[in-house]
Amino acid sequence: MEQIIVEGKPRAERGKNAARRMRQSGEVPAVLYGGQGGPVALAVNTKQFSALLRSESGQNTVFQVRLPSGDQPAMVKDWQVDPVKGGLLHVDMLRVAMDVRIRVRVPVHTFGEAQGVKLQGGIFETVTREVEIECLPSEIPGEFRVDVTEFMIGKQLRAGDLPLDAQKMRLVTDPQRVIAHVVALRVEEEKPAEVVAAEAAAPAEPEVIKKGKKEEEGEEVAEAEEKAEKPKK
């Protein structure tokens, strides 16, 4: 596999103005940390780093940070992007030891048209798009690909079904985690025509009008006046 190089150089200047000048010159602020060395503030080549993120392995790419003191193997830990212009603002890089296992998240891609969709009218749903594994940096897979052509309704692809090389990597994600499945199309149950016709023909319930407070008070006053007008025996 071709070795990927990202050129970097130590930076002494800090602050927004220094970072702005750095980006205008084709570099982006970065920090390299982890492993046996302490954190180092760097300026890395923006084009090289952007190409690395767009590569097939993306964030899981193991590359060499080229420094005056020598090359150091590293991986991308995190990065920030301008929400408006889309340019890189800052990157974090993690030193890696090529003989020590690390945990990484690997995407899962499915291909093929499921028979449960084609023949049974079901729906293919992706539930989980990546799994976590543990392996050596040099043995990180770019992705896991699974053919789902034979999947019928009710068939599930679980993390434990992925084609992992047990001698090189260990699955960290729960093996029972559902990655994708084919489910039946849910159709709302329609009422029979006879029921619909009966409901339409049924008379509406009469509206019950409650007496208001003022109306009740008026009736009470009328009753009192009527009693007062009656002659006493």
Confidence of residue 201 (pLDDT cuts 50, 70, 90): low
193 vs 129 pLDDT, higher one: 129
Q: What superfamily in CATH does domain 102-183 come from?
A: Ribosomal protein L25, C-terminal domain (2.170.120.20)
Q: Domain residues of the chain, as ranges?
A: 5-95, 102-183
**Closest alpha carbon to 59 in 47, 74, 76:** 76
Can you read off the two tokens belonging to residue 98?
């090529």
pLDDT reading at 113 higher than 90 = yes
Alpha helices in the chain (DSSP H): 16-24, 46-54, 115-118, 193-201, 213-229
Contacts of 77 (CB under 8 A, 6+ apart): 34, 92, 93, 94
Confidence of residue 186 (pLDDT cuts 50, 70, 90): confident
16 vs 7 pLDDT, higher one: 7
- Considering the domain 5-95, what is its CATH architecture? Beta Barrel (2.40)
Confidence of residue 9 (pLDDT cuts 50, 70, 90): confident
208 by Cβ neighbours in 10 Å (0-12 / 13-18 / 19+) ranks as exposed
Q: In angstroms, what CA-CA distances link 130 with 49, 127, 161?
A: 23, 10, 13
183 vs 21 pLDDT, higher one: 183
pTM exceeds 0.75 = no
Q: What is the mean pLDDT of residues 168-186?
A: 94
pLDDT reading at 196 higher than 70 = no
- Going by their DSSP bridges, the two strands 102-111 and 63-67 should be labelled as unpaired
